Chain A
Amino acid sequence: MKAAPFDYLEAGSANEAVHLMAEAGSDGVILAGGQTLMPLLALRMAMPSVLIDINSATDMAGVTANENGFRIGARTRQAEALIDPLVGRHLPMLPKALAHVGHYQTRAQGTVGGSIALGEPAAELPASAVAMGALVELRSRRGTRMVPAREFYIGPYMTVRADDEVLIAVHYPHWHDGTQLIFHEVARRAGDFALVGLVMLLDVRAGRVERAGVAWFGMGPTPIAAVSVERALTGCSLDTLDPRELAQIALTEVEPADDLHASAHYRRTVAARIFARRLGMLAGEMVA
Chain B
Amino acid sequence: MSLHFIEFELNGRTVEGTCEARRTLLDYLRSDAGCTGPHAGCEHGVCGACTVIVDGKAVRSCLMLAVQANGKAVETVEGLTDNEQNLHPIQKMFREEFALQCGFCTPGFLMTLVALDRTEPRPNAAEMRAALSGHLCRCTGYQGILRVVDRLAEETR
Q: Are B21 and A104 in contact (CB under 8 A)?
A: no
User: What separation, in Å, do the CA atoms of A51 and B68 have in the docked complex?
Assistant: 12
A-chain residues with CB within 8 Å of residue B21 when the two chains form the complex: 5-8, 51
Closest to A190 in B: B133
Which bucket holds chain B's interface residue count? 20 to 34
Are A103's CB and B131's CB within 8 A? Answer: yes
Chain A contact surface mostly:
loop
Q: Which A residues touch B48, using CB under 8 A? A: 103, 105
B interface secondary structure, majority: mixed
A5 touches B20 (CB 8 A): yes
| Interface check B29, CB cutoff 8 A | no
* In the complex, number of A-B residue pairs with CB atoms less than 8 Å apart: 92
How many of A's residues come within 8 Å of B, CB to CB? 31
Q: Is the CB of B59 within 8 A of A109?
A: yes
Q: Please give me the residue from chain A that is nearest to B45 by CB atom.
A: A39
Partner of A106, one of B4, B22, B60, B65: B60
Contact with A along B102-122 (1 / 0, CB 8 A): 000000000010001000000
Residue B93 is within 8 A (CB to CB) of chain A in the complex: no
A3 touches B22 (CB 8 A): yes
Is there an interface contact between B51 and A5, defined as CB atoms closer than 8 Å?
no
| Per-residue interface assignment for chain A, residues 1 to 45, with 1 indicating a CB less than 8 Å from any chain B CB and 0 otherwise | 111111111000000000000000000000100110011011100
Contact call B44/A105, Cβ cutoff below 8 A:
no
Q: Does A191 contact B (CB under 8 A)?
A: yes
Query: What 4 A-B pairs have minimum CB-CB distances, sorted nearest first?
Result: A103-B134, A8-B21, A5-B1, A104-B131
